[in-house]
Amino acid sequence: PRAIYLKDYQQPDYWIETTALSFELGEESTLVTSTLNFKLNDTKTHAQLPELTLVGENMELVSVAIDGAVLSGDQYKVDSEQLVLQPQSEAFETYIVTRIKPQENTSLEGLYKSGGMFCTQCEAEGFRKITYYLDRPDVMSIFTTTVIGDKDKYPVLLSNGNAIERKDLDDGRHMVTWNDPFKKPAYLFALVGGNLEFIEDTFTTMSGREVTLRIFVEPHNITKCDHAMRSLKKSMKWDEEVYGREYDLDIFMIVAVDDFNMGAMENKGLNIFNSTCVLARPDNATDAAHERIDAIVAHEYFHNWSGNRVTCRDWFQLSLKEGFTVFRDAEYTADMYSRTVKRIQDVNFLRSAQFVEDAGPMAHPIRPESFIEISNFYTLTVYEKGAEVVRMIHSIVGSEGFRKGSDLYFDRHDGQAVTTEDFVAAMEDANGVDLSQFKRWYSQAGTPVLDVSDSYDEDAQEYSLTIKQSCPATPGQDTKLPFHIPVAIGLLDGEGEPMPLNGEGETTVVLDLKEPEQTFTFKADERPLPSLLRGFSAPVKVNYDYSREDLIFLMSHDEDGFNRWDSCQRLAINVLMELVADIQAGRELAVDPQLLAAYGKVLADESLDLAMIAEMLLLPSETLLAEQMDVIDVDAIHQAREFVRGAIAEAHKERLQQIYNSLNVDKPYQAEPEDIAERRLKNIALSYLVELDDAASVELAQAQFAAASNMTDSIAALSNLIGAVHESGKAVAEQALAEFAEKWADDTNVMNMWFSTQVTDSRFGTLAKVRELMEHPGFDKKNPNKMRSLVSGYCSGNLVNFHNISGESYEFLADEVIRIDALNPQLASRLINPLTRWKRYDEKRRELMLAALKRIQQQDLSKDLFEVVSKSLA
Ligand code: DPP
Ligand code: ZN
């Protein structure tokens, strides 16, 4: 396998003006006929007509013709990756017939079968598994697609755009022709054929056009579509209001499939979704699932402009559409639910996952310079950090300026395939700002670190903040140039009141940090306490020597809700890491009473809303704590965290019970912010109570399990029974697990939760348990959702057991990765992730992990897995 470089980008020699496809879906094979109209790219200089190289994999070439003349074998070259033709004129038409076997396609890229239905996934480079083509995003074409299939087996035949013709054939088959009037790259092509039902609604756009909305699912899922439909309508409205973007086709369709590598896909007019990201009913999907569905439906819908109307020139530009669209969906969620809570959850995720990626062997800038397999770059860096970079632009130019910039961007580039440079240029041009230094965020990897110190000059009544920035080396980038970092700050006086920071009396200002070290001075009539990086204004780490008293003060006084939470996090990390050190040194453990008092205050704080209390009560995850250590000690981290959880429960037992009881009321389910917050806080309270060695807590969880009328309460009760400390929990948990499995045996997504709940618990979810569950009739060793629930659930969500010093789990994961790689390379290269962090562990574990990696390396690997394995061994 070899790498492809951004610097080698060249326009194609030919464009494809129109693409006409016909599919004859069959059980043995599917016949694909393509008629493509090519035109020479006359912006390039050509001495003579260049060869035309079309890519195509895993297909049988039946025939090829140019301008009506069938080519003989010596008039083209074909191998396992491409078909090379020699055009005779500047404009010509190819007619190519190929045969593929979707029913044998386990990679879930291209055309494949999920259950009984045909479906596609073409991003990034799946179209080349369908037919020979210029499978690159800068080739945009008008598609007309005819789908032919058995009318009984596949009554629903869908593709992009509007249906323009339907007819029955005499042989029991029928055909439907779709036309998409918008030019698009092949990665946005989609086709679905199956026995599906749909729900329908309509949306009237801002200019008064009526759009039909349909969600297609297998018949047994038809009752689970309403939530996604509501989300779709909300997103369409929001994008009109906030970005002035209107939908452009007569119909918008979503299809849910059970076998899917990613979350969902924004194919023009025909989004295809992993069923977990669309199906929800109160009784079978949690609040988190409802929220996730809302966000993903919005995300894919928003792509219609940020991705489809304006697309990417090449795959190095992936963050152009993904970073921007994640930013858009985050703002949508912030507007629909709680802005502060959304920010907290996103930052928590960024810190515990993207920061880890940015410090590991696969670290890359949001616009990578090279790749071996592009699928490996659908990463947290490209998506989440990419969104943070867009957010920083938003904060630099302000919301009105950002809207001007996005209007200019969509206007200037509608129908084009462009680059991140073009996006930034639109923001600069619309606002008259210079973002040249800022653009280093696109080219430099790694998480910048800010070291902040301060001083107060009593005589001059001046307070100075000195900020030093640095960024650790990442693969291929030993040194970094200084970033342009917007640092939002505020200052608190001794009473906790915000101090005015400038003539306008503002209490939050954004400092433009551009130098390696810069000092900012403020007038202050007393020494203030700084509140740094408010709202997490940049994806960086901040070091400042806060005392625990400072943090407790900020927790209750900071006007920035995000920093109130963040101070709580810092305090908890501080205490937990001290305990980790105590454990390692064999000292006796005691939790700092200040921490317990701080939690007591949070639990009693009337000024906080329930959602905030819930967020503050959650201790930093083990993964996040692991990031604080040079050599990760999973056992000490786990022990320290459990110890603190127990101490909090002990110290605040009554208040927790009170909260639990006051919120444990039976009312009809609504996926609305206040209801979600109530359930969340109630279930967090319960999760502390079951830390007590106390039969009453088990009874609470048991009663909740029995009474639950929604999945949030049901699964929380189940997982709290599994995790309960008191010995009476065990039998009750087993009983509840059995009941649950029986009730939900036919709901594949609920069963996935049942799997993951068991294997993420440290006492319950042993490797033996994982192996046992893999043999459960509800498990499917090929299905990505199931593999993620069970195998990744265990390997990434149960650190003490996965890293058991025996090394058994490393061997287990290696076996699974090797097995899956032969079926589904994308899935394999994601599953392997926990092993790639081997350098961070102690010597014994390092050796064991390395041995597992090397064993994988010796196999005949897919490009996907090869890239990840070789980079992590480098
Ligand atoms: N383009 C897709 C998305 O992120 C990737 N599956 O929405
Ligand atoms: Zn996306």
Q: What does the DSSP assignment read for 414-467?
A: TT-EE-HHHHHHHHHHHHT---TTTTHHHH--S--EEEEEEEEETTTTEEEEEE
Residues 416 and 482 in one domain: no
What pTM value is reported for the model? 0.99
Residues 57 and 173 in one domain: yes
Final residue in a domain of this structure, among 172, 195, 218: 195
Find where tokens 């049901």 sit: 714
- Ligand 2 centroid–CA 426 distance in Å is 21
Read off the CATH number of the domain in which 394 is found.
1.10.390.10
Ligand 1 lining (C-beta closer than 6 Å)? 123, 262, 264-266, 299-300, 303, 322
Residues 6 or more apart in contact with residue 10 via CB below 8 angstroms: 44
Residues 35 and 127 in one domain: yes
Question: What does the alpha-carbon distance between residue 370 and residue 441 come to, in Å, rounded to a whole number?
Answer: 16
- Three-state SS for 652? coil
Element (H, E) at 290: helix 287-302
Residues 395 and 498 in one domain: no
Asked, for residue 346, whether it belongs to a domain, the answer is yes
**Which of 123, 34, 17 shows the shortest CA–CA distance to 83?**
34
Going by the DSSP 8-state scheme, the letter that residue 103 receives in this structure is G
Residues 6 or more apart in contact with residue 484 via CB below 8 angstroms: 435, 437, 438, 440, 441, 512, 513, 514
Residue 263 CA, closest ligand 1 atom number: 6
- Contact indicator for 287, 712 with CB cutoff of 8 Å: yes
Residues 47 and 92 in one domain: yes
Residues 63 and 161 in one domain: yes
Q: Which amino acid is at 316?
A: F
- Tell me the residue range of the domain where 30 lies: 4-195
Read off the CATH number of the domain in which 474 is found.
2.60.40.1840
Residues 393 and 471 in one domain: no
Mean pLDDT per block of 10 residues along the chain (874 residues) reads: 97 98 98 98 95 98 98 98 98 98 98 98 98 98 99 98 98 98 99 98 98 98 98 99 98 98 98 98 98 98 99 98 99 97 98 98 98 98 99 98 99 98 99 98 98 98 98 98 98 98 94 98 97 98 98 97 98 98 98 98 93 98 98 98 98 98 95 96 98 98 98 98 97 98 98 98 97 98 98 98 98 99 98 98 98 98 98 97
Instruction: Say what the pLDDT of residue 607 is.
Output: 87
Q: Which ligand approaches the C-alpha of residue 261 most closely?
A: 1
Residue 378 CA, closest ligand 1 atom number: 5
Give the residue, by CA position, lying nearest to ligand 1 atom 1. Answer: 265
Q: Which of 125, 300, 384, 627 is catalytic?
A: 300
Give the residue, by CA position, lying nearest to ligand 1 atom 5. Answer: 265
Find where tokens 């007569």 sit: 250
In degrees, to the nearest 5, what angle opens at C-alpha 386 toward C-alphas 334 and 136?
A: 120
195: which 2 tokens? 């026995």
Question: What does the alpha-carbon distance between residue 220 and residue 230 come to, in Å, rounded to a whole number?
Answer: 20
Residues 357 and 502 in one domain: no
- Contact indicator for 236, 97 with CB cutoff of 8 Å: no
DSSP calls for 779-831 = --TT-HHHHIIIIIHHHHH-HHHHT-TT-HHHHHHHHHHHHHHTT-HHHHHHH
Final residue in a domain of this structure, among 424, 443, 462: 443
Largest CA distance in the chain: 96
Best residue among 108, 276, 301, 322 to mutate for probing ligand 1's pocket (most ligand atoms within 8 Å of CB) is 322
Asked, for residue 629, whether it belongs to a domain, the answer is no
Residues 6 or more apart in contact with residue 588 via CB below 8 angstroms: 582
Provide the sign of the torsion angle of the four alpha carbons 719, 723, 725, 726, taken in this order. Answer: positive
Asked, for residue 302, whether it belongs to a domain, the answer is no
**Which of 749, 859, 742, 841 shows the shortest CA–CA distance to 799?**
841
Give me the count of residues in the chain. Answer: 874
Based on the residue annotation, tell me whether 843 is a catalytic residue of this protein: no
Read off the CATH number of the domain in which 100 is found.
2.60.40.1730
Final residue in a domain of this structure, among 195, 214, 237: 195
Asked, for residue 213, whether it belongs to a domain, the answer is no
Q: Which ligand approaches the C-alpha of residue 324 most closely?
A: 2
Question: What does the alpha-carbon distance between residue 323 and residue 314 come to, in Å, rounded to a whole number?
Answer: 15
Residues 351 and 402 in one domain: yes
Find where tokens 């009730």 sit: 743
Instruction: Say what the pLDDT of residue 125 is.
Output: 98
Number of separate domains in the chain: 3
Residue 121 CA, closest ligand 1 atom number: 6
- Contact indicator for 39, 15 with CB cutoff of 8 Å: yes
Asked, for residue 398, whether it belongs to a domain, the answer is yes
Interior/surface letters 786-822, b for 16+ CB within 10 angstroms, e for the rest: bbbbbbbbbbbbbbbbbbbeebebbebbbebbbebbe
Residues 460 and 400 in one domain: no
Q: Which ligand approaches the C-alpha of residue 124 most closely?
A: 1
- Ligand 2 centroid–CA 571 distance in Å is 35
Best residue among 122, 235, 261, 262 to mutate for probing ligand 1's pocket (most ligand atoms within 8 Å of CB) is 262
- Contact indicator for 134, 96 with CB cutoff of 8 Å: no
Asked, for residue 623, whether it belongs to a domain, the answer is no
Best residue among 265, 296, 317, 827 to mutate for probing ligand 1's pocket (most ligand atoms within 8 Å of CB) is 265
486 phi-psi bin (left φ>0, alpha ψ -120 to 50, beta other)? beta
- Contact indicator for 527, 549 with CB cutoff of 8 Å: no
Residues 514 and 404 in one domain: no
Asked, for residue 396, whether it belongs to a domain, the answer is yes
Integer-rounded Cα Rg, in Å, for the chain is: 28
160: which 2 tokens? 């992009």
Residues 6 or more apart in contact with residue 707 via CB below 8 angstroms: 666, 713
- Ligand 2 centroid–CA 413 distance in Å is 19
Residue 262 CA, closest ligand 1 atom number: 6
31: which 2 tokens? 């016949």
Q: Which ligand approaches the C-alpha of residue 264 most closely?
A: 1
- Contact indicator for 427, 393 with CB cutoff of 8 Å: yes
- Three-state SS for 163? strand
- Ligand 1 centroid–CA 864 distance in Å is 18
Asked, for residue 699, whether it belongs to a domain, the answer is no
- Three-state SS for 153? coil
- Ligand 1 centroid–CA 807 distance in Å is 35
Give the residue, by CA position, lying nearest to ligand 1 atom 3. Answer: 265
**Which of 183, 169, 178, 186 shows the shortest CA–CA distance to 145?**
178
Residues 26 and 174 in one domain: yes
Residue 303 CA, closest ligand 1 atom number: 7
